[in-house]
Chain A
Amino acid sequence: MSALEIRNVRKNYGSVETLKGIDIALQSGEFLVLLGSSGCGKSTLLNIIAGLAEATSGDVLIGGRSILGVHPKNRDIAMVFQSYALYPNLTVRRNIGFGLEMRGVAADEREKAVAEAARLLQIEALLDRKPSQLSGGQRQRVAIGRALVRKPQVFLFDEPLSNLDAKLRLEMRTELKRLHQMLQTTVVYVTHDQIEAMTLASRIAVMRDGRIEQLGTPEEIYNEPTTLYVAGFVGAPSMNMLQATVQGSMLAIDGAKASLPLPTRFRDAVLDGARVVVGIRPEALRVAAEATAPSLPVEIEVVELTGPELVTTARIGTQRLTACLPPASRVAKGQAASFAFSEDALRLFDPDTGKAF
Chain B
Amino acid sequence: MSSTWMTTRAWLLMLPLLVVMVAVIGWPLVDTVGLSFTDAKLVGTGGSYVGFDNYTNMLSSSNFSRTLVTTTLFAVVSVAAEMVIGVLAALLLNQQFHGRAILRALMILPWALPTVVNATLWRLIYNPEYGALNAALTQLNLIDAYRSWLGEPATALTALIVADCWKNFPLVALIALAALQAVPRDITAASLVDGAGPFNRFRFVILPYLAGPLMVALVLRTIEAFKVFDIIWVMTRGGPANSTRTLSILVYQEAFSFQRAGSGASLALIVTLLVTVLAVAYAALVRKTAGSAA
Residues of B within 8 A of A294 (CB): none
Verify A90–B204 contact, CB threshold 8 A.
yes
Specify which of B184, B190, B293, B294 lies most central, judged by the most chain A CB atoms within 10 Å of its CB: B190
Q: Is the CB of B293 within 8 A of A88?
A: yes
B194: interface (CB < 8 Å): yes
- Residues in B with CB closer than 8 Å to A253 are none
A-contact 0/1 string along B184-215, CB 8 Å cutoff: 10110111111111001000110010000000
Determine how close the nearest CB of chain B comes to the CB of A171; give it in whole angstroms.
22
* A102 close to B189 (CB less than 8 A): no
A357 at interface, CB cutoff 8 A: no
> 17 A-B Cβ contacts within 8 A?
A51-B192, A71-B192, A72-B193, A73-B195, A77-B193, A79-B189, A79-B190, A82-B186, A83-B186, A85-B187, A87-B191, A87-B208, A98-B191, A98-B194, A98-B204, A102-B197, A146-B194
Chain A residues in 8 Å Cβ range of B208: 87-89
B210 to chain A, nearest CB (A): 11
Question: Do the beta carbons of B186 and A102 come within 8 Å of each other?
Answer: no
Instruction: Kindly state whether residue A32 has any CB partner on chain B within 8 Å.
Output: no
Question: B195 contacts A87, CB within 8 Å?
Answer: no
Cβ-defined contact, B187 with A50, below 8 A: no
Report chain A residues within 8 Å CB of B200: 102
Nearest CB of chain B from residue A68's CB, rounded to whole Å: 16
List the A residue with the shortest CB-CB distance to B203.
A89
Which B125-164 residues have C-beta < 8 A from chain A?
none
Residues of chain A contacted by B189 (CB below 8 angstroms):
47, 50, 52, 72, 79, 81, 85
The residues of A that contact B205 with a CB separation of less than 8 Å are: 87
Interface residue tally for chain B (C-beta within 8 Å):
19
**In the docked arrangement, what's the CA distance between A145 and B193, Å?**
14
Tell me the residues in window 120-161 of chain A with beta carbons closer than 8 Å to chain B beta carbons: 132, 146
Task: Number of A interface residues at 8 Å Cβ cutoff, please give it.
Answer: 26
A330 at the A/B interface (Cβ < 8 Å)?
no
Using A90-B204, A132-B294 as known contacts, say yes or no to A85 and B195 having CB atoms under 8 A apart. no
Knowing that A79-B189, A85-B187 are A-B contacts, what are 6 other residue pairs whose CB atoms are under 8 Å apart, sorted by A's residue number? A72-B189, A72-B192, A82-B186, A87-B204, A89-B292, A99-B195
* Known interface pairs A98-B204, A132-B294; A87-B193 also in contact (CB < 8 Å): no
Main secondary structure of the interface of B (DSSP, over half): helix
CA of A141 to CA of B205, assembled, Å: 20
Q: How far is the CA of A123 from the CA of B107 in the complex (A)?
A: 48
The answer to whether A102 and B294 have CB atoms under 8 Å apart is no
Chain B contacts for A79, CB-based, 8 A: 189-190, 193
Which residues in B have their C-beta under 8 angstroms from that of A87? Answer: 187, 190-191, 204-205, 208
Residues of A within 8 A of B187 (CB): 85-87
Least CB distance, A229 to chain B, in whole angstroms = 29
Report B's interface with A, CB cutoff 8 A. 184, 186-187, 189-197, 200, 204-205, 208, 292-294
Q: Is the CB of A99 within 8 A of B194?
A: yes
Contacts of B192 in A (CB 8 A): 51-52, 71-73
0/1 per residue, A60-96, Cβ < 8 Å to B? 0000000000011100011101111111111000000
Nearest first, the 5 A-B pairs at minimum CB distance are A73-B195, A85-B190, A85-B186, A99-B194, A102-B195
Closest chain B CB from A199 CB (angstroms): 25
User: Is A103 in the interface zone, CB < 8 Å from B?
Assistant: yes
Do A103 and B193 touch (CB < 8 A)? Answer: no
Contacts of A83 in B (CB 8 A): 184, 186
A residues near B184, Cβ cutoff 8 Å: 83, 85
Set of chain A residues within 8 Å of B193, measured between Cβ atoms: 50-52, 72-73, 77-79, 99
User: In the bound complex, how far is the Cα of B278 from the Cα of A255, in angstroms?
Assistant: 82
In the assembled complex, the CB of A267 is this many whole angstroms from the nearest CB of chain B, namely 53
B130 to chain A minimum Cβ distance, whole angstroms, is 51
Query: A residues within 8 A CB of B294?
Result: 132
A77 to B195, CA, bound (A): 11
Indicate whether A103 sits within 8 Å of B195 (C-beta atoms), given known contacts A87-B205, A87-B208.
yes
Distance to closest chain A CB from B198 (angstroms):
12
**B190's closest neighbor in chain A, by CB?**
A85
- Closest residue to B293 on the A side, CB-wise? A88
Q: Whole-angstrom distance between the alpha carbons of A78 and B194 in the complex?
A: 8
Nearest A residue to B184 by beta-carbon distance?
A: A83
Whole-angstrom distance between the Cβ of B118 and the nearest chain A Cβ: 37
Name the B residues within 8 Å of A86 (CB-CB).
Answer: 187
Q: How far is the CB of A132 from chain B (nearest CB, A)?
A: 6
Closest B residue to A156 by beta carbon equals: B193
Query: Are B196 and A102 within 8 A (Cβ)?
Result: yes
Chain B minimum-CB-distance residue to A102: B195
